[in-house]
Amino acid sequence: MKNALERALTRQRLQFETAAQRDALARHAEGLRPLFHAADQVHAGLRWAGRHPEVVAGGVALLAASRPGFRRFLWRTGRNALALWFWFGRQS
């Protein structure tokens, strides 16, 4: 009987310590809340862009039509992305 009582007390003590550690971690992480909020916003924006690729493509096409420098940027970036895609494809 004593062994079961000791185990119960040890378990309760560990639960109290865990709760205290959880509270301390929450207090220390409070300063990171704006960073987590910004990351959540970026993630939500990327999910939206994934669900609406036609809007993203339209925006890119509009920029390419209106700005010649952006057109050159798109060409270079696309060429480099394609080269990387082929290079990584051969690595596998």
Q: What is the mean pLDDT of each run of 10 residues along the chain (92 residues)?
A: 86 97 93 93 95 92 87 90 87 66
Quote the pTM value: 0.51
Rounded to 5 degrees, what angle do the CA atoms 52, 56, 60 make? 165
Residue 44's alpha-carbon distances to 37, 38, 67, 74, 86, in angstroms, are 11, 10, 28, 25, 30
Q: Specify the pLDDT at position 92.
A: 60
Q: Give the whole-angstrom CA distance, residue 86 versus residue 78.
A: 12
**74 close to 62: Cβ distance less than 8 angstroms:** no
Q: What is the DSSP letter of 92?
A: -
Give residue for tokens 């970026």: 42
What number of residues does the chain have? 92
